[in-house]
Amino acid sequence: MEISIAAVCGLCLLFCVGGFLASYIYFRRKIVDFTDEVCESAQEILRQSQGLRKGSRETALQESQGYARRRQLKNQDTLTSKAVMELDKLERILSRQAAQNQSEKEEVQKVVSEISHQLKTPVSNIRMYQDMLDDEEVTEEEKKRFEKIIRQQLDKLEFLVESLIHSSRLEQEMIHLTLVEKPIFQTLAKAVGGIAAAAEKKKIELRVDCPKSLQVVHDVKWTAEAVENILDNAVKYTQEKGEVSLLVKEGEMYTKIQIEDTGKGIAPEHYNDIFKRFYREKTSGQEEGLGLGLYLARRIISLQGGYIMVESKLGKGSRFEILLPNKREER
């Protein structure tokens, strides 16, 4: 047990270091882009300044040759106006970048706070029950119970860390999708298998309607994860003895994977929010998770050229539709 705890703690530390490195690389890229934009404006200002100096020399020559004073002032005013416009542009860039940096800084702080909050509970529980196990007066029955709780907390911690790693890799486009034409039934069977135990525990009826011979071009591993994330949410927020159904239909341009539940439903104003990273409803505090499932699902499907849509009624349930493009290899 001590080895397992040490391994998990090492994994968490590695993830944290990786996360900070990823953040550093991300913000460094932002700074480079910002620097390029500023330099471009600065170079334009320098060109305008050179134009002013050149205009001044020409003005002196023109005066000696009898050119009209009004024409000279007009040319100078035009060049001055251009330079002022570029300076205004530079000021707007600086202001916009300052606001963007502040927004990104707040977002990073929010992410770090959420991660810390989610990881704190299982780590604290593991530490507490580990201390109890070290107590010489603990009975064998209590030891077995404590060890079971520790394993459950380790599983929860592993799930959270894996979710964070997947999110980080998708953000940095480190995940390579392999699109192949395979039976979608097999992919969905893998997804359903991942939530079957949780559904059975709540006595939720699972219904699957999918042609076994239907071939769809998709990434098997990641599509299964995306579907499982949606199914997991459906089971999580559906009351006991409810229903969750999965229906697949092939259209002319897209294959539709429809997931419907009889859960608590989603308010229309939150349709977009549920796909945001770390978003969780206020009423979902008792449910485990980071608020990454639907975010990852949409990212995975989007990378395959597909879409996810949602329709829901409060107190009645929700329906998610995944649309995967019917790409066919030329024969």
Is residue 80 helix, strand or coil?
A: helix
| SS3 at position 67 | coil
Domain 180-325 architecture: 2-Layer Sandwich (3.30)
Backbone angles phi, psi at 67, to 5 degrees: -70, 160
Q: How many residues does the chain have?
A: 331
Kindly write down the DSSP assignment for every residue of 83-119, as one continuous string: HHHHHHHHHHHHHHHHHHHHHHHHHHHHHHHHHHHHH
pLDDT in tens, 45-88: 445 444 544 544 554 445 445 545 555 545 555 555 655 565 56
Q: How many Cα atoms are found within 13 Å in the side-chain-facing hemisphere of 112?
A: 13
Overall pTM surpassing 0.75 (yes/no): no
Say whether 211 sits in a helix, a strand or coil. Answer: coil
pLDDT, position 131: 82
CB-CB contact of 62 with 72 (8 Å): yes
Residue type, 99: A
SS3 246: strand
**Separation CA 169–CA 159 (nearest Å):** 15
> What does the block give as tokens for 312?
């829901």
The two structure tokens encoding residue 266: 């989603």
With CA atoms as reference, report the closest residue to 26 among 188, 168, 177, 178: 168
Q: Which residue has the tokens 């990273």?
A: 277
- What's the distance, CA 122 to chain centroid? 23
- In the chain, where the domains are located: 1-175, 180-325
In terms of C-beta density within 10 A (0-12 exposed, 13-18 middle, 19 or more buried), how is residue 118 classed? buried
Instruction: Collect the ranges in the chain with pLDDT lower than 70.
Output: 1-101, 103-119, 167, 169-174, 282-290, 328-331
Residues paired with residue 308 on neighbouring β-strands, in sequence order: 322
Q: Which of 151, 198, 202 is nearest to 293 (CA)?
A: 198
pLDDT tens-digit map of 229-245:
999 999 999 999 999 99
Exposure string of 67-102, with b = 16+ CB inside 10 Å and e = fewer, is eeeeebeebbeebeebbeebeeebeeeeeebeeeee
Phi, psi of 312 (to 5 degrees): -150, 160
- Rounded to an integer, what distance in angstroms lies between the CA atom of residue 170 and that of residue 296? 8
Instruction: Report yes or no: 217 and 306 within 8 Å, Cβ to Cβ.
Output: no
Expressed in angstroms, the distance from the first to the final Cα of the chain is: 55
Show Cβ contacts of residue 252 under 8 Å, excluding neighbours closer than 6 positions.
326
Structure tokens at 19: 């996360």
